Structure formats: C-alpha cells, structure tokens
Structure 1
Amino acid sequence: MSTETSTREVRDEFYGRLKEQELAPLWEVLKGLLPSEPKSKAGIHRWRYQDVRPLLMESGRLLTAEEAERRVLVLENPAFRGMSRATSTMYAGIQLILPGETAPAHRHTPSALRFILEGEGAFTAVGGERTTMRRGDFVITPSWAWHDHGAEGDTPCAWLDGLDLPLVQFFEAGFNEHYNDERQSISRPEGDSAARYGSGMLPLKPESRYGLTTPIFNYPWERTREALAGAAAGGAPDPHEAVSLRYANPLDGGWAMPTMSAWMMHVPAGFETARMRSTDGIVMCLAEGALTAEIGDQTIDLDESDVAIAPGWTWRRFRAAKDSFLFCFSDRVAQEKLGLWREEKG
C-alpha cells in the first residue's frame, strides 16, 4: 500500500479543518515539545545590590509598608518582563521594612523564604512565633502559615524574598487570606521551634506543624557559617561544588521545603570549581566575599548581596578572590520528587 505525499497547500487546508474542531497536528510541534535537551527560556542576569539599594530606599519614602502590604522590588528576569519571575519557576524580590513599620499579617499557598541582607531589629512572626532576623539568616514561611513582619530597631532592614509563586500559578492553586489584625497573636516564646528541633535533639513524637515543611523557620547565619568553615577545615573542597551544605528538615533529613531547595556554597579564597550544570534554574545571592561566576557564555563578578540567575541546564563555575559564601535556591526538590532533576559535571 503506497502513501500519497501531500502538498503544503493540501496540508494547510487539512490543518484549517482541524483547527475548526479545536484539534492540532502533533507532528508539526513534536520537536519543540520534546527537545534533545532542555533549553531554558530564562536569561542570565545579575542585580547589583549597590544599584538596587538606592531605589529600594526611595520606595520607602514613597509609600508605607502598610500601604504596599509588602514593599518589594521584584527581580524580573529580562526574559520574563511583567511576569514576576526570576527563573522559569521561581519568584524573587528584595523587601524593605523601616523602623517602626509593620508589614500586615496574611497567609497564602505559595511557600516563601527570606535571606536577610542588612539591618538589625527586624522580625517575622510565623504561626504564632516570632523570630528576630539578622544578616545572613535563612528564614522560612511555610505554605498557608500566617505571617507578618516588623522592625523595632533603628535601621532599615532588607532581605531577598523567594517564592514558588510561578509553580503555584501553573497549577492554578493559589489562595490568599488576610488576618483580622495587622499583627498576629503571639502564642509561643521566641526560639521555641529552634529549641525543639534545632539543637540536634527532637521531641519523642516529632511532627511539623507545617506539613512537609521543616518545623524550624530560622536557620541563623552564625551557625551556617560555622558549619561551612568547619566542613572546609575537615577536607578538600569538592571539585564542582566546593563546600556545599543544604538547609535540612530535621524530621527526615530532606530539603527544608517541599517545593524549593536552599543551600549555601562556601568557595575558599583562590579556589576555582569545575564546570557543571543541572536542570534547575538557580537564584544565587552572595552572602560574603568576592566571587566570579561563569554562567553560560557570560562572566559575572559578584559582590556582597548581589543576586544572579543561572538558568536551568546552563554550565556554571565559580572562582573566589577571597573566602566566599553563596546562598542558592531553586526548584530542585520539586524536580527530584517528579523524577526530572539531572546534573552533568564537566
């Protein structure tokens, strides 16, 4: 039986009739749907904190935290202008709160993380417990947990926000609710969750009040830095990952959050990593030091509090002019659970 080869005009006429029935020919788009390897739509980009900070402080003069609900400058990837995306799946922004202000209490289904950039005296309250936030702290807001922020010190406070907002939007599973007051009622003393879960000991019947999210919601910078420095003293850096430690859920040892992975990489002075790539697009922020990042075909210098994007499946490597600590977050944990995450080392 022979197969008749049709002309372009005949096919186009056929496709027109398919369209009338809300149908489409898979063979016309198959290569785009199933590429030979991932091709991220996100762009490589860096935000210098010294450029962002004056604009952030100007926003503080233009409107209050109460007016804005959250006074944040969104870090928009140039490839996703107007879409509030830093990577294909992650939202990032820099939030400001001034002395005496309150960012009102609310809750939402997207999970959130904070990495504190500057200031003293700011706090966040999560589920009835308050924690003071200091530079370099990694702070978590679990999905659907009441939270508000305030500042009781004398200086402005700023932090990097990360949310799985694009993921939640993709699933069309977003909910948001406002509290009946600006600040939620505090029902437990500060440090309660750290005492129960963050000392290397656990309750006899441990459970998280936040489902799959860690019961600890502040991982202090001083402990993180001490752990990384101690790990670096105990052995040579990994050729690709230098000295990297992840923020872990003490209940199961897994990632601290169910949809966002967060970790810290320590690159000792003078060390240069070998190149690697992975399917997760990464948001990175330099906590301390001076670092040069080679991402794809670009070379980017990072100073303290600068933020950069490494799109998924893009080669990356780092070299440190002095001891450097790089905070990173991505959707790796979600990809791992779905069996999608891959890496390649050069």
Structure 2
Amino acid sequence: MNISTEVGISRKAFYDEIRDINLSPLWEALHNLVPSKPNGQCVPELWKWADVAPHIERAGRLITAEEAVRRVLVLENPALPGQYSVTNSLYAGLQLILPGETAPPHRHVQSALRFIVDGKGAYTAVDGERTTMSPGDFIITPSWTWHDHGNEGIDGDIQPVVWLDGLDIPMVRFFDAGFQESSDERSQTVTRAEGNSFAKFGYNMAPVNHRVSSATSPIFSYPYERTREALDTLYRQLEIDLWHGVKLRYVNPATGGWPMPTIGTFMQLIPRGFRTKPFRSTDGAVFSVVEGKGRVKVGEKVFEFGPKDHFVIPSWHTYSFEADEELVLFSFSDRPVQVALDILREERLEP
C-alpha cells in the first residue's frame, strides 16, 4: 500500500470517527463555504401574466379569501422547489381579492410590501388606517402591524384586484425569528381617515412632535401617480444613466433611508429604443413590469416581457434591458440588509 492510499484510508477513518461526535473537517468544504464568487442555486425565471392570470382566476373559484387567509400563488424559483422562495432571502407571490371579499386581520414579524398589478378599488388597512389601491401603487405592511384587505370598489365599480406580495420570509426563517398572530375580527376597526399618514409625512414635512420610533417608513402607501410624475420629470431633465435608465429608490421620509429595514424598493424608466449596459450586483431582485414591452438578457437567457409580467434576477447574474416601448419597472431586493452588513457588491460592465 503506497503512502497516498494509506493517508486516504486514514483520513476517511478519521472523518467517520469525528462525525460520530458531530465534528467535520473545514478543509473539505472551505471552497464552497467561502467561494471566489457567489454561487447560489437561484436561477433567472419569468412569469408571463398571460400564463399566470388564468390560474389566479381559477384559485378565486376554488377557495375564498377568508378560507385561505391570503389567497396567493407563490412565485417559486425553479431551483428552490418546496421552499416558497423566489431568492434565498425573499418571497414573492400574486394575491387575489374578489369583489366583496375580506382577507381577515393578522400580524407577523415578517415585513411585507404590496405592489398593485391589476384592478383597482381594493383596500389595505394597516394599524387602523385604510388606503385604496390602484395599479402601480407601492404599499407597506410593517413588521408586527395588524393588517387586512378588502374589496369594496370605488363609486360602485368593483373589480377583482391582484397585487404582488414581497416579504422577507426566508430571511426571518434563517434567523428562526418568526411569530404570527391572527384576529377573530373579520376586519380591523378604522381609527384614522384615509390619507392621514400621507398628509403627515408625504409632503417633505412631519408633525413637529414626531419622533422616529421605527426603521419602517411612516408612509405606508406610495401612489403610482406621484412616482410616475417624478420619473417623467427626471427623464426630461437629467442625463440618462447608461446602466439603469432613470432609476429611483423609494425612501423613508422621516430618515431618508429605506422604507423597509429588510427590503429595498425601486422604480425605473427605460426610454423607448434604449439598451442598458450590462450590470450585476449581489442583491438578487424581483421585477414587476408596470408599462411597456421589451426584453432582459440575464447571462445567456433572454426574456421577452410586457405589462404585468414578473421576473427574478438572482445575485451576481449579469443583466441588461432593451426597451421596445417606454418601460416602467418596479423591483425589490434585499439591498438594505446587504448595505447594513457591508457585503453589497455591484459592477457596471461594458458590453
């Protein structure tokens, strides 16, 4: 028996022996634990609205919002089957509420966002204040706040409403810090008039006695009308960023920071005929197409998309956009956490 064979047998015996007392050799896994670059399982994926919408409608016939608590079809990354995750740190799903329905109140540690995709007139209530939802609106449900949803329509016009849910469920699961509580009420009592939070904090002002007590924005509804106006104005006035077009991040007006401590949210406009330069970053992102048609190239994959389509770009995947029409894209990622931990990395590449 040569020395290398003997060493191999000795090592195997050693590994078997220490495994019995729950030890393992780092040197056997170091290249995977501390890789030269991100090597996560997640893959890019596109969910076409034309493919998804019939199944959302069918779910509405099969189960009520009250039975389901939240009637959602999860956007599950193909590389993470059974984990109810769109990336390793984020959850995404499409929620439906039909005319006359109520999704009962509950609260949980997980922070949540709603981005309205289809229909208008439903509402979300957060800690005693309602906001009526329209396509393109970005709405926050802060951690451990009571929230429920209903669909009473506007001026007699009651439509099915679908929105994109984004939560930090995988992140909270990683820390094993999840708690949830349900209410026996069908809906929570409204204690503040609609628009109260926006009146207090949405006009570059705040009540004189306000003290910041939460990392989450005191505004829980960001109307698309104002967001679109900002994009249009900056498109006319600023030089277009070659990697992002016109891209804005939503902010907490009380601090200037992120609206949510664990999830960053963005809206961008890419002019018709514009092709962005390739970009990559460690914060994998979920995109919702608000307006326009175009394509995104992610690595060697090319996804053609249109309004109400959704796609995910995982961490450190190089991507670029091409706009056939003027594009407006909403996106969310775990960037606030990566910034806080000082691990975010991004690269603006040349073709």
TM tier, shorter chain? over 0.9
Q: In the alignment, which residue of structure 2 is the partner of 1:164?
A: 168
1:173-212 superposed matches below 5 A: 173-208=177-212, 211-212=214-215
**TM-superposed deviation, 1:44:** 0.8
Gap runs ≥5 in structure 2: none
1:284-295 superposed matches below 5 A: 284-295=287-298
Distance 1:296 1:170 in 2: 28
Q: In the alignment, which residue of structure 1 is the partner of 2:52?
A: 52
**TM-superposed deviation, 1:340:** 0.8
Instruction: Point out the more displaced range, 112-121 or 99-108.
Output: 112-121
Q: In the alignment, which residue of structure 2 is the partner of 1:266?
A: 269
TM normalised by structure 2 equals 0.96
Secondary structure of the residue aligned to 1:79 is coil
2:219 partner letter:
I
1:304 aligned onto 2:299: no
**TM-superposed deviation, 1:63:** 1.0
Q: In the alignment, which residue of structure 2 is the partner of 1:144?
A: 144
The percent identity for this pair of structures is 49
How many residues in Structure 1 have an aligned counterpart in Structure 2? Answer: 343
Distance 2:106 2:211 in 1: 24
Distance 1:316 1:254 in 2: 26
Distance 2:40 2:208 in 1: 45
Secondary structure of the residue aligned to 1:60 is helix
Distance 1:208 1:49, change over 3 A: farther
**Which of 253, 258, 271 in structure 2 is aligned with 1:255?**
258
Distance 2:206 2:235 in 1: 27
**TM-superposed deviation, 1:6:** 5.5
Secondary structure of the residue aligned to 1:205 is coil
**Which of 234, 238, 242 in structure 2 is aligned with 1:235?**
238
Q: In the alignment, which residue of structure 2 is the partner of 1:215?
A: 218
**TM-superposed deviation, 1:291:** 2.0
Distance 2:179 2:172 in 1: 9
The RMSD of aligned alpha carbons is: 1.3
**TM-superposed deviation, 1:40:** 2.1
Distance 2:231 2:253 in 1: 18
TM normalised by structure 1 equals 0.97
1:60 partner letter:
G
CA contact (8 A) 1:46 1:309 kept: yes
- Stretches of 4+ aligned residues off by more than 6 angstroms: none
**TM-superposed deviation, 1:20:** 1.2
2:299 partner letter:
G
Secondary structure of the residue aligned to 2:324 is strand
2:281 partner letter:
S
1:76 aligned onto 2:79: no
CA contact (8 A) 1:135 1:221 kept: yes
1:2-21 superposed matches below 5 A: 7-21=7-21
Secondary structure of the residue aligned to 1:116 is strand
**TM-superposed deviation, 1:94:** 0.2
Q: In the alignment, which residue of structure 1 is the partner of 2:340?
A: 337
Secondary structure of the residue aligned to 1:12 is helix
**TM-superposed deviation, 1:205:** 3.0
Distance 2:46 2:143 in 1: 28
CA contact (8 A) 1:89 1:331 kept: yes
Gap runs ≥5 in structure 1: none
1:131 aligned onto 2:131: yes
Distance 2:78 2:325 in 1: 30
Q: In the alignment, which residue of structure 2 is the partner of 1:23?
A: 23
Secondary structure of the residue aligned to 1:80 is coil
The CA deviation string for residues 40-79 of structure 1, in whole angstroms up to 9 with x for no partner, is 2101100001111111011111111001000000111100
Q: In the alignment, which residue of structure 2 is the partner of 1:89?
A: 89
